[in-house]
Amino acid sequence: MSEKVFVLGGEQTDFQRNWTKEGKTFMSMMREVLDDALEKVGISYDEIKRLNKENKVAVFVGNFDAEQYANQGHLGAFLTEVNPALFGVPGARYEAACASGSVALDAAITHIRAEDYDLAIVLGVEVMKTVSSSVGGDFLGTAAYYEKEAKGVQFPFPKLFGKLADVILERYELKEERFMDALAEISRINYANAKRNPKAQTRTWFMNKEHAMARGGDNNMAVGGRLCITDCSQVTDGAAVTLLASKGYAKEYAKKTGRKFDDIPRIKGWGHRVAPITFEAKKLESVGDKYILPWTRQTVKDAYKRADLDVKNIDVFETHDCFTSSEYAAISAFGISEPGKEHIAIEDGTIDFGGKKPINPSGGLIGVGHPVGASGVRMMLDLYKQVTNTAGDYQVKGAKNGLMLNIGGSATTNFVFILGK
Amino acid sequence: MREIKTVTILGANGAMGSGSAGVIAAFGGAKVYMLARDVEKAKQGIEAAVASVKTDTIRARMIPGSYDADLEKAVAESDWVFELVAESYEVKEPINIRIAKARRPGTIVSTVSSGLSIGRLAKAYDEDGQKHYYGTHFFNPPYKMILCELVTHSGNDKKVTQALGEYLDKVLGRAVVYTNDTPAFAGNRIGFQLMNEVAHFAEKYADKGGIALLDEIMSGYTGRAMGPLATADFVGLDVHKAIVDNIYENTKDEAHETFKLPGYFQKLIDAGKLGMKSGGGLTKVVKHADGKREKFVYNIKTGEYDPYPKFDIPFIKEARQKIKESNYKAAMDVVKTASGFEADIARYFISRYISYSLSLVGEVVDTKENTDGAMGFGFNWVPASAFVDFLGGPKETIKLMEASKIPVPKLLKDAKEGKKFYELGEKLDARSLFKG
């Protein structure tokens, strides 16, 4: 499949912005990000019109919960409000909780692979600052089994990922202090990386290891078992676009824009697995397995197999660090360490910005911010930047292949993509 | 990168002192001597610093002290002495003499003055001290407002300036803007020009809606979160007066007359009505017995407070709708083509703001990116250069200026058409500063 689907780039909004405070909506966000993405990539609305005449362009919108946050559905059709060039362009909205961006990418990849379209516009979007954090926390609870895991629970997801931290600690018989230190280091790395990213939500926020270690109290409150504020990513308003293309179109595009075709990265592998939805069921199922999240590991393995690559070939990772515990578990899922030895990869600097296997040079969800439906598309965009050497101050030197893991729910929906040249 | 391990803050209990100390102790990881008139006040400053950056981790490295007992010892130990005492030569100069005596060679000393001459304050020091003396104009509250105007004077050493700028930028996370030692520097000179001239127009149009009308005309669709007169009310009319008086007395530029304080401002100041901090000024909010709050606005003609009016100005409504949809150029097209005196006023002030910002390049700052940064990061106003782009480029902007009889700055005359005029886009998305 690595010769079928190409990534031409894209753009994201500044995740520090609060669109409600600006008096703007998800529609204005879609307009800005799409205009910016097309300008950056060098594709005009006239070109979209041309492709549309032959039914060779389509739109895939990743979004989790616009109905509740913005009182609006039918987002696939909403791009027609952005620009009349999109009249007639097939478009739909895709949803898989925090992996909504990835399921939109997956649909776009599938259509391009099937040679239905030459160009796919994948737009992830979420406006979340329309409600208070407790109301928003309740909305997010619908990504779990609401009735069993979220109803009447304040901030259900920190609690679910707090349970993941508990299971890691117990199952691998880790020393609590060492484990919590490793989680704090994950937090430190993500915030430090985000400082180099001009679109990151937290780029002006204060955070260091000392603060991440100082859990408890008013300034770093416990929100889910062992996990405190510094262990959590924070929701925000944001959108991201990536443009995917067929081989033929990518070749044409390279010629038109004076780029080298060989420099355009391609999707080399993918994986998609769904684990049992409740955390309790996941926990029970994984008893006896080396991996606490075996379906996450399986998704990574599927992607490696399809790409005919392994961890040794991957130069940079973008992972779903909705909480420090989810990034911790991802380290072994990627194969960077053995399960149970993740803390060593953290302690010895392997996953740090300058390490052998850097994770989240962008800052990840903890640093960049987590506009739920946009995160998967943002990760793909960041992989694109890394493998095309255009990530600016957060460029990982010499990155050729990148892998992203985007999860929905408590590691329920798992999506992995590998991008490289 | 310059290593700054120990810092002394003078004025540790003020909002700026404690906020700046919080930033230095947190981002900089420095040991900070928190000095105030007495130790109790300094201790309050430490708690305020902790609250401002929301981390208990800095408390242990903040040491309270008083000017009388601890200044010399703290200064002698420090790599940077940051003075934030009251905004007057009478207060600052004697304290500088004490700092100068206790300071080690190489120690940086800076002041947070928003208008005093840095060169004059530097005179308290020997040659090495003058070389290391700066204005570091932080904005309030320092953790959230990341602008720092780094004000240099003729006695500075470029290498030290560069090292300090790097420290402020890379370590403390400030958006550093370099300005020359001119009255009110860049941000306040531009910001208070607009605010004060808008205040004059409010008087001129007192019959048509006065203060409330002018703030409506200059509201979010012109690229600011708060109206200029609401801003004056927020900072305090006494502070406003101090800044515009200083600029009026010490500059002679094209906008000189606009810096004269309006008579009604003085009247309100004399009556102790200084703005929000004193319970009322240009506006006031009254809490009724049923708990409901009602906003009133000062009537310049009658001297009474009237209920705050609502306006229905069609072109403003239309422009706001376009901004709500992130259609900024269309919004500016509405402003450019609307008729009526309100639209004339809007065009006049948009032109004035761009023109005045760009006219200061060369005198106050070396490049327009510095004035753009000052207004974007310090005031949350759409920077002048970005406005040029939203208006459709230099030619269109010049047309607007000429129609409003505003001088066209050379920088704009020389600008290339068809090329983006705003160059800070990667650092500051100017679109985020328009409000729909």
pLDDT along chain B (436 residues), means of 10: 92 96 98 97 98 97 98 98 95 97 97 92 97 96 96 96 97 97 96 98 97 98 96 96 96 97 98 94 95 96 97 98 96 98 98 98 97 96 98 98 97 95 95 96
Confidence (pLDDT) at B362:
96
The reply to whether residue B436 touches residue A217, judged by beta carbons under 8 angstroms, is no
- Residue B55 has its nearest CB partner, among A22, A28, A206, at A206
- Residue A217 has its nearest CB partner, among B56, B220, B326, at B56
Confidence (pLDDT) at A214:
96
Q: What is the pLDDT of residues A142-179, one digit of tens each?
A: 999 999 999 999 999 999 999 999 999 999 999 999 99
Is residue A410 in some structural domain?
no
Confidence (pLDDT) at B217:
98
- Residue B326 has its nearest CB partner, among A14, A28, A219, at A28
Enumerate the β-bridge partners of residue B151. Answer: B135, B179
Q: Quick count: other Cβ atoms within 10 Å of Cβ A47? A: 16
The reply to whether residue B429 touches residue A219, judged by beta carbons under 8 angstroms, is no
Confidence (pLDDT) at A1:
56
Confidence (pLDDT) at A196:
96
CA-nearest residue to B56 within chain A is A219
Sequence ranges of the domains in chain B: 6-180, 187-272+310-434
Q: Name residue, tokens 């900089």.
A: B28
Q: Which tokens sit at B126?
A: 């020997």
The reply to whether residue B324 touches residue A17, judged by beta carbons under 8 angstroms, is no
The reply to whether residue A17 touches residue B429, judged by beta carbons under 8 angstroms, is yes
Is residue A366 in some structural domain?
no
Is residue A279 in some structural domain?
no
The fold for domain B187-272+310-434 equals N-(1-d-carboxylethyl)-l-norvaline Dehydrogenase; domain 2 (1.10.1040)
Q: Which tokens sit at A85?
A: 């060039």
- What's the domain range around A60? 6-130+236-257
Q: Does A208 touch chain B (CB under 8 A)?
A: yes
- Residue B27 has its nearest CB partner, among A25, A198, A206, at A206
Mean pLDDT for the stretch of residues A121-148:
96
- Residue A198 has its nearest CB partner, among B323, B326, B427, at B427
Q: If you average pLDDT over every residue of chain A, what do you get?
A: 97
Which of B380, B431, B435 is most worth mutating to test chain A (most A CB atoms within 10 A of its CB)?
B431
Domain count, chain A: 1
The reply to whether residue A219 touches residue B173, judged by beta carbons under 8 angstroms, is no
Question: A2 pLDDT band (50/70/90 cuts)?
Answer: confident
Give SS3 for B323.
helix
- Residue A198 has its nearest CB partner, among B26, B53, B426, at B426
Q: Name residue, tokens 């230190």.
A: A181
Is the CATH code 3.40.50.300 the one for domain B6-180? no
Confidence (pLDDT) at B114:
82
- Residue A206 has its nearest CB partner, among B26, B326, B432, at B26
Which helix (H) or strand (E) is A393 found in, with range?
Answer: none
Is residue A353 in some structural domain?
no
Which of B23, B24, B27, B56 is most worth mutating to test chain A (most A CB atoms within 10 A of its CB)?
B56
Comparing CA positions, the residue from A335, A348, A351 lying closest to residue A186 is: A351
Q: Look up the CATH number of the domain holding residue A62.
A: 3.40.47.10
The reply to whether residue B57 touches residue A210, judged by beta carbons under 8 angstroms, is yes
Provide residues of B within 8 Å CB-CB of chain A.
23, 26-27, 29, 50, 53-57, 143, 146, 173, 220, 320, 323-327, 426-427, 429, 431-432, 434-436
Q: Name residue, tokens 């048509």.
A: B208
Q: What is the pLDDT of residues A245-282, one digit of tens each?
A: 999 999 999 999 999 999 999 999 999 999 999 999 99
Question: A3 pLDDT band (50/70/90 cuts)?
Answer: confident
Which of B23, B24, B31, B55 is most worth mutating to test chain A (most A CB atoms within 10 A of its CB)?
B55
- Model ipTM over 0.90: yes
Confidence (pLDDT) at B115:
84
Contacts 24+ apart (CB under 8 A), B241-244: B241/B265, B241/B266, B241/B269, B242/B87, B242/B115, B243/B114, B243/B115, B243/B184, B243/B188, B243/B192, B244/B192, B244/B196
The reply to whether residue B54 touches residue A24, judged by beta carbons under 8 angstroms, is no
CA triple A416-A409-A242, angle to 5 deg? 45
Between A and B, how many CB-CB pairs are < 8 A?
61
Is residue A107 in some structural domain?
yes
Nearest-angstrom CA–CA distance, A338 and A346: 12
% residues pLDDT > 90 (chain B): 97
Which of A204, A218, A390 is most worth mutating to test chain B (most B CB atoms within 10 A of its CB)?
A204
Identify the burial level of B425 via C-beta atoms within 10 angstroms of its C-beta, where 0-12 means exposed, 13-18 middle and 19 or more buried.
middle
The reply to whether residue B173 touches residue A208, judged by beta carbons under 8 angstroms, is no
The reply to whether residue B427 touches residue A17, judged by beta carbons under 8 angstroms, is no
Q: Does A17 touch chain B (CB under 8 A)?
A: yes
CA-nearest residue to B327 within chain A is A28
Is residue A381 in some structural domain?
no
B50 contacts in A (CB within 8 Å)?
219
